């Protein structure tokens, strides 16, 4: 007996996608970042918010479109990825133009950020607040322990200026954007493989009609 294949498969489960969840958090962070640190009348403000929104909306739209067009889902997911890459450049430009510190991935501050697994705007706000307070203390000549080394080493940080809240927020947003972009890269790769192996709606329609004819004939 031939196995039934649904013409319209399950689709639209974008809220369960980690890429959507992280992108949505980035959008919320970006809206607040722009409200606080970017001139509301500047083009940059609008561009950053729109790029963040585009990332979220295109993931959702692509997921909905997957029912009848895998090609559209793949295209919109790539658009989401491109939008978030644009947003990354905006945050990087902000740090560079303001002459603020761009933290390296293995910096203790970002290591603590990743360990917290920030998934809400409130957790993000608390992280910025805590790190700003820690930075104030460190900038006055205290030391911090580098737990990334095989042997614990006390690293003097008095030569690094206090990190402002906008500097920390931008670096935190960049860390989340790197994660979102990685997840979308993996998503695009999987969608491309599925499309190559299974085809799209046209191929599924052909299989469903063929299976129905075979069943009608008693196969």
Q: What angle do CA 183, 189, 193 make, to 5 degrees?
A: 145
- Domain 14-102+166-216 fold is de novo design (two linked rop proteins) (1.20.1440)
How does DSSP classify residue 150? S
Q: CA-to-CA distance for 124 and 171, rounded, in angstroms?
A: 11
How does DSSP classify residue 11? -
pLDDT of residue 162: 83
Between 62 and 219, the higher pLDDT residue? 62
Between 76 and 202, the higher pLDDT residue? 76
Residue 38 tokens read as: 């970017």
pLDDT of residue 25: 98
CB 55 within 8 A of CB 45: no
CB 148 within 8 A of CB 141: no
Beta bridge partner(s), residue 146? 153
User: For the chain, what are the domain ranges?
Assistant: 14-102+166-216
CB neighbours of 218 closer than 8 A, spacing ≥ 6? none
């Amino acid at each position: 007996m031939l196995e039934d294949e649904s013409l319209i498969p399950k689709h639209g489960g974008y809220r369960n996608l980690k890429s959507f969840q992280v992108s949505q958090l980035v959008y919320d962070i970006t809206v607040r970042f722009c409200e606080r640190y970017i001139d509301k009348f500047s083009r940059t403000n609008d561009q950053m918010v729109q790029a963040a929104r585009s990332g979220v909306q295109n993931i959702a739209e692509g997921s909905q479109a997957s029912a009848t067009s895998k090609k559209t889902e793949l295209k919109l997911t790539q658009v989401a990825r491109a939008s978030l890459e644009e947003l990354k450049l905006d945050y990087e430009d902000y740090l560079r133009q303001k002459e603020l510190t761009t933290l390296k991935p293995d910096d203790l501050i970002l290591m603590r950020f990743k360990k917290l697994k920030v998934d809400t705007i409130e957790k993000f706000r608390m992280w910025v607040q805590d790190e700003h307070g820690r930075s104030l203390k460190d900038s006055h000549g205290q030391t911090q322990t580098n737990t990334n080394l095989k042997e614990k080493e006390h690293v003097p940080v008095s030569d690094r200026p206090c990190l402002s809240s906008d500097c920390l927020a931008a670096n935190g947003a960049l860390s989340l954007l790197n994660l979102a972009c990685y997840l979308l890269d993996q998503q695009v790769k999987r969608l491309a493989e599925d499309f190559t192996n299974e085809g799209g709606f046209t191929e599924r329609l052909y299989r469903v009609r063929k299976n129905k004819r075979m069943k009608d004939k008693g196969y």
